[in-house]
Amino acid sequence: MGKILNEIGPKEVEFISSQKVFFVGTAPLASEHYVSVSPKAPGNACVVIDPHTVAYADLTGSGAETAAHVLQNGRMTLMFCNLEDGPPKILRLSGHAQVLFPEKNVSHSMLSKFPKEITSSPGFRAVYKLDVTRISTSCGFSLPIMDFKKFRSTLKEITEKDGKKGISDYITLKNSFSIHGLPSIGLVRPDAPQNIVPVEEEGFIFGKVLEGDKTLSISTSKAQLLYRKKQKINLRPFEIIVGALTIFVAGIVTGLYCANIFVYDLQ
């Protein structure tokens, strides 16, 4: 039977860290755009920061739907499910996520929580921090029980062979836009080229760097500037509301004061 938990407790921390794989679900705002579900491994790439916050270290892949959706609206659900011996447990963490870049806004203390084989990899592209607002468990009575053999080494071998420069070029090409053209991680990362444009090929939208004096597309330039501005400000909703109310009240007070002066002058 499913349960709603008030916080991520010690049992959930242990369950998360013991998983070999977990799944990330995100969705764009447009109803005609596709929902994304992505597997992530190893399970200990996701760590619990506090009872209502988790984060996971992300390696470069052939797409960047998760980043595009998070940059647009922040919604995310992580799912962990036991596929080995033990209780048939499923854990879901839902909330609002942020994309953080290792070289810019990830602290050393946070980085130290992740496996070193991930953070030292040339393919280490981001950290996703999730502020969890719903914690739920459910039964996995129909899930299979499987024996773990090993993690595949293909991604590690490719990233080590390509090196930092090769992976950076790959991120620009494959990770700049979602399949529906939303700005993604390759476009807004701190060291991204300033002249990336979308090019549609075979059902994907790749990021191509313009050469020479060609003009950057307005939409791409705007997406880069807006994201970087947002990262610098990074205001929480509460702070935005308080700021707006302060400006509103100040406007009323100023208006009343000016009105009184005008009436006095007429007299």
Six token digits for residue 46 = 């996701």
My answer on whether 252 and 133 are in the same domain is no
Residues 75 and 112 grouped into a single domain: yes
pLDDT in tens, the chain (267 residues): 689 999 999 999 999 999 999 999 999 999 999 999 999 999 899 999 999 999 999 999 999 999 999 999 999 999 999 999 999 999 999 999 999 999 888 999 999 999 999 999 999 999 999 999 999 999 999 999 999 999 999 999 999 999 999 999 999 999 999 999 999 999 999 999 989 999 999 899 999 999 765 545 544 554 555 555 554 434 344 444 544 565 565 566 556 655 554 444 445
219 & 252 share domain: no
Q: Identify whether the C-beta of residue 47 lies closer than 8 Å to the C-beta of residue 56.
A: yes
**Rg (alpha carbons) of the chain, rounded to whole number:** 23
Report pLDDT for 26. 98
| pLDDT score recorded for residue 266 | 46
How far apart (Å, rounded) are the C-alpha atoms in residues 199 and 72?
A: 20
Q: Is residue 92 within 8 Å of residue 46, measured between CB atoms?
A: no
Residue 211, pLDDT score: 78
Q: Do 66 and 21 fall within a single domain?
A: yes
Full DSSP string of 175-207: SSB-TT--B-HHHHSTT--S-EEEEEETTEEEE
CATH number for the domain spanning 109: value is: 2.30.110.10
- Do 107 and 191 lie in one domain? The reply is yes
Residue 66 structure tokens: 């998760």
Q: How far apart are the C-alpha atoms of 235 and 261, rounded to whole Å?
A: 37
Please tell me whether residue 70 adopts helix, strand or coil conformation.
Answer: helix
Is residue 203 left, alpha or beta, with left meaning phi > 0 and alpha meaning psi from -120 to 50? Answer: left
User: 33 with 151, same domain?
Assistant: yes
pLDDT of 62 = 94
Q: Do residues 222 and 267 share a domain?
A: no
Beta bridge partners of 117: none
Verify that 201 and 86 share a domain, yes or no.
yes
Report the pLDDT value the prediction gives residue 263, as an integer from 0 to 100.
44
Q: Residue 220 in contact with residue 207, Cβ under 8 Å?
A: no
Write the burial class of residue 133 (CB in 10 Å: 0-12 exposed, 13-18 middle, 19+ buried).
Answer: exposed
> In whole angstroms, what is the distance from residue 177 CA to residue 41 CA?
23
Range(s) of the domain holding residue 248: 240-267
User: 140 with 250, same domain?
Assistant: no
- Assess whether 224 and 260 both reside in one domain: no
253-259, long-range: CB within 8 Å, 24+ apart, which pairs?
Answer: none
- Backbone dihedral region of 62: left (phi > 0), alpha (psi from -120 to 50 degrees) or beta? alpha
Residue 169 structure tokens: 């070029």
Task: State the pLDDT at residue 151.
Answer: 95
Number of structural domains, the chain?
2
Are 260 and 190 part of one and the same domain? no
**Is 124 in contact with 118 (CB distance < 8 Å)?**
yes
Exposure string over 184-218, b if 16+ CB within 10 A, otherwise e: bbbbbbeebbebbbbeeeeeebbbeeeeeeeeeee
- So what's the pLDDT on residue 2? 85
User: Do 58 and 190 share a domain, yes or no?
Assistant: yes
What pLDDT sits at residue 247?
59
* pLDDT for the residue numbered 236: 42
